[in-house]
Structure 1
Amino acid sequence: MNLLTKITELTELTNNEKVLADYILANPKNTLSFKPKDLAAAAFVSVATVYRLINKLGLTGMGELKVELASTLRTAEASTDIDYDYPILESDTPFQITENLSKIYQRTIDETLNFSDPEALVTAVQVLLDAQVIDIYAASANLFFAQNFKFQMQEIGVLVNVPEEDYIQRLSAANSDEKHAALVISYGGRGQTLNDVVKILHENQVPIVLITSAQDNPLAKYAAHKIYMASIENHYDKISSFSTRMSLLMILDTLYAVYFNHDYDRNIDFKITNYKKMNKKLR
């Protein structure tokens, strides 16, 4: 597990430790240049707090913290010149727009990989494999990505529900039990409907896999399993969700691929056989 994910997953932090953790997540590159006292001053905490957080991360000192942090950030170093919220200027040519978006997509892939935890992916897929019913809860444009995941799974004979209307989402959650698995897509946990849905799912003891940003999300406390999206963009102040969409698509495609790989030969045969059946009907 990379260092940013470790920090995000920490629980039972004191208020000052939480402040320090949030500072490192928001300023990882600055942290690389700090001595313990400099980091403490920048985050407005004590040096003792710095060392307590380092210990809770299972590290031996500031040097090891920097090594792990540098390793986590190494793939993103080449893309620091792009404003991910406003990558397009009025004066940009179509070529410049294409080039800037390309840099955003590559940085997004790198950051998604940095946050990726293979063990968490395996565990999340096992939750889906064990479930009799899989439900995806999302809002706004994320519903399109949920529907695409539903299509992918249906191609291998796995039915996935994607309730869309607020009332139907609440009803679906209320009807769920421990035989269900819930994929919940929420960047920051700001939507009231998803907040209500997750609380109902938790009360009904439904296993929850939360796909979220590395920022604070009030839904995280209800989810036993978490997968983190790239967290570059501002939630509101931006032209579009270029990075977030790319990261979410990558995560859902990876979940599908790992699920597919669990019974590879069977899934290949299933898809080919069914496409042959459909092609016969079209002739």
Structure 2
Amino acid sequence: MNILTKMSGLDNLTNNEAVLVKYILSNSKEIINKKPSEIANAAFVSVATIYRLVNKLGLSGIGELKIELASTFRTIEKETEIDYDYPILESDTPFQIMQNLSKIYNYTIDETVAFSDPEELVKVGKRLLEAKVIDVYTASANLFFAQNFKFQMQEIGVLVNVPEEDYVQRLSAANSDKEHVAIVVSYGGRGQTTKEVVKILRDNEVDIVLITSMQENPLIKYAKHKLYLASAENHYNKVSSFSTRLSLLSVFDLLYSIYFNHDYEKNLQYKISNYQKMNKELI
């Protein structure tokens, strides 16, 4: 049952809760990008009414309500759109392939944005800024995106640790403490090493930022913060991870940009100054 259907079937609502439900059902897409106070003002109810409704829906917060709404829209719209798993056909011309991939990329970015909780992004950005050490745990092809994030952060003088081998990942987790923050990339929580790493991080009381899909992931219970990827692709049965790769890249770029933006002028000057130093060495 999607969240809109569940909301429509609620009973024992107060008058204000009923007004809020009616407003959400009529303006559900706009809700995703509004703050709680903006929703309350538009619906002429209190912010407390919003949280009471969220509780009656069995959700943990407004961020989860927005994610549920975004997931519902994707499910409804996906059926009439391009196949994420098989966006190219044997009969397609090169130009048709390019058009189909363009659709996949556009939908992926829209979905990634829709799954983003503005309040959670603020919290994650704050935690990254507070951390003395940022560690990124991932595997396979996703390591390229983690390494790119490491490179971006190094350009502004922030060192990021990206352990690659299984043993080194577990060792890095074992060496972590409360001054570390761990970014863990796991689409569905299937990797054995990732499971072991997350448990070690939990035991060491390290805050975990989990980048995951909307699909069921057993690692969610260990994460303090969750960022969601576009989740329309099948994990195995597909031509390639066109959507997931782009979504992960956009999330890493977002984290870098949030960090950069906290001290914009300082980071910009640091980056430019270092490039000037390097160019002098080449002359």
Bin for the TM-score computed over the shorter chain: 0.7 to 0.9
- Letter of the structure 2 residue corresponding to residue 51 of structure 1: L
Deviation at 1:81, TM superposition (A): 2.2
**Match in the other structure for 2:209:** 209
CA–CA distance in structure 1, aligned partners of residues 116 and 278 of structure 2 = 37
Q: Structure 1 segments of 4 or more deviating over 2 A?
A: 58-81
Which residue of 2 is the match for residue 95 of structure 1?
Answer: 95
Deviation of 1:141 (Å): 0.9
TM-score (norm: length of structure 2):
0.78
Matched, 1:24 2:16: no
What secondary structure sits across from 2:10 in the alignment? helix
Q: In the TM superposition, what whole-angstrom CA distance separates every residue of 1:79-99 from its partner, at most 9, and x where no partner exists?
A: 932000001100000000000
| % same residue | 63
Q: Determine if contact 1:59/1:65 at 8 Å carries over to the other structure.
A: no
3-state SS of 2:226 partner: strand
- Counterpart in 1 of 2:174? 174
TM-aligned CA distance change 1:261 to 1:75, over 3 Å: farther
Q: Partner letter of residue 184 of structure 1? A: V
Amino acid across the alignment from 2:263: D
Unaligned 5+ residue runs, structure 2? 31-68
- Number of aligned residues: 239
Alignment of 1:130-279 (within 5 A): 130-279=130-279
Residue in structure 2 matched with residue 281 of structure 1 by the alignment: 281
- AA aligned opposite 1:24: N
Corresponding residue for residue 10 of structure 2 = 51
Gaps of 5+ in 1: 1-22, 37-49
Q: Deviations over 1:55-82 (max 9, x none)?
A: 8xx9647645534544455996599320
Q: In structure 2, do the counterparts of structure 1 residues 174 and 127 end up closer, same or farther at CA, with 3 Å as the change threshold? A: same
* 1:183 shift after superposition: 0.4
- Contact in 2 for aligned 1:177/1:206 (Cα 8 Å): yes
> One-letter code of the match for 1:215?
Q
Shift, 1:189, TM fit: 0.5
Q: TM-score, normalised by structure 1?
A: 0.78
Q: Deviation digits for residues 26-56 of structure 1, max 9, x if unmatched?
A: xx7xx5xx995xxxxxxxxxxxxx528x98x
